[in-house]
Amino acid sequence: MNDVPRSPKCHHCGTPWPGDKPRPAYRDTCSSCGAYWHCCLNCRFHDPAAHNQCRIPTTEWVGDRRKFNYCDDFAFRTDETRDPGHMEENRRRAYELLGEPEPKRPTLDDLFKGGDS
């Protein structure tokens, strides 16, 4: 595994963080898509399986994880697994690792076939 730290990227579009500060201001937005930088989805502590969806146990509930928040514990997530461009590649690698064929994904026509009514 590569231990080189990755630069933070926008949770929505994958644009690299343009700032030289370790964290964004509360209302800073991505110049490419307008998503907030200081939000749960960009934070290394965000964990959908944890209490309040955060690994910091004292964190207050945040209703919309995409919106900016005033959390003092915010730290950029830098792992590649959250990069939207790598999702398909990670899925392929998982099936390859398990030695299973990747299931055929249904097409829109398959999903919306008319019934025999």
Q: How do residues 41-91 score in pLDDT, each as one tens digit?
A: 999 999 988 888 999 999 888 999 999 999 999 999 877 545 555 567 777
pTM: 0.63
Query: Considering only 9-18, 43-52, 81-90, 93-102, which range has the smallest mean pLDDT?
Result: 81-90
SS3 38: coil
Confidence class of residue 7 from pLDDT cuts 50, 70 and 90?
A: confident
